[in-house]
Structure formats: C-alpha cells, structure tokens
C-alpha cells in the first residue's frame, strides 16, 4: 500500500511539473522573428552583417564559384567551397585558420525560407552546431 501511495504521489508531482512547464508565459519572445543579417546579390555574392556580444559590427562577403574554394573577404584566413547538391540545397566547406567546418543551406519548396545548419569546432577546440532560419522578404 505504501508503495502504491508513493508511486501515485510521485506521478501526481510529475504531472503537476509538466503542467507548470507547459503554462510558462512566453514573455518578450512573443511575436514574429526574422533573421536579416544576410544578403545575396543577383550576381551570387553573399554578404553577412553581424554584431557581436560587445556591440561591434562586422561585415564579410564571398562570391561562390562551384567546385572552387574562394576567399571570404573580411574574415582573415577563411575560404569557403560551395557545392550545389540540387536546386534547393547547397553544401559548404569552410576552412578558417586551418579548422574545417561543414554547413548546408536548404531552400524550402515554396522558396520563402532557407534553413542554414553548420557543424564545426570553435577557436577553443570545442564542437558547435549552428541553426539559422531565414525568411525571404
């Protein structure tokens, strides 16, 4: 009987925690969000405008040439090789200061959203995974 009561009490506690977590108000996260720091020009040049955690803005760009690593202007010792997989997917191989990272850009079927994912190792040797979703304006 004690075991059943303990299991029932534990189950109710877990259920109440689940309900509490689901009821968490979204606060300032409510709304429609867009990532707008990347621009792709008609000639294919990709420009990225970033602001770091200290508020410093930087801009860098590259013009991909299929099958050829090209320099990334504005990022020291960095190149990118872009491979077109199909009309909706590009794969990238980035080399920065001797470290290689892989990324993929996937265009949605309706052409309105691009999902960018990247895996690599940061400057401290720690692995990272990045995911950015772009909405076309």
According to the model, what pLDDT value does residue 70 have? 96
According to the model, what pLDDT value does residue 32 have? 52
According to the model, what pLDDT value does residue 26 have? 52
According to the model, what pLDDT value does residue 37 have? 59
According to the model, what pLDDT value does residue 42 have? 83
According to the model, what pLDDT value does residue 35 have? 56
Domain ranges of the chain: 35-135
**Cα distances (angstroms) measured from residue 37 to each of 5, 6, 28:** 56, 54, 21
Backbone torsions φ then ψ of 40, nearest 5 degrees: -115, 115
According to the model, what pLDDT value does residue 78 have? 94
Instruction: Please list the rounded mean pLDDT of every run of 10 residues in the chain (137 residues).
Output: 35 39 52 62 84 82 91 94 92 91 91 89 85 83
According to the model, what pLDDT value does residue 123 have? 76
């Amino acid at each position: 009987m004690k075991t059943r009561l303990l299991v029932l009490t534990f189950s109710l506690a877990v259920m109440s925690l689940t309900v509490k977590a689901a009821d968490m108000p979204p606060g300032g996260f409510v709304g429609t969000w867009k990532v707008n720091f990347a621009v792709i020009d008609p000639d294919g040049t990709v420009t990225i405008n970033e602001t770091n955690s200290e508020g410093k803005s930087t801009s860098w760009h590259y013009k991909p040439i299929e099958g050829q690593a090209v320099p990334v202007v504005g990022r020291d010792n960095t190149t990118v090789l872009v491979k077109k997989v199909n009309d909706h997917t590009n794969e990238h191989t980035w080399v920065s200061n001797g470290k290689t990272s892989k990324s993929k850009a996937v265009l949605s079927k309706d052409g309105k959203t691009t999902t960018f994912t990247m895996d690599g190792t940061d400057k401290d040797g720690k692995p990272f995974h990045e995911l950015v979703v772009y909405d076309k304006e």
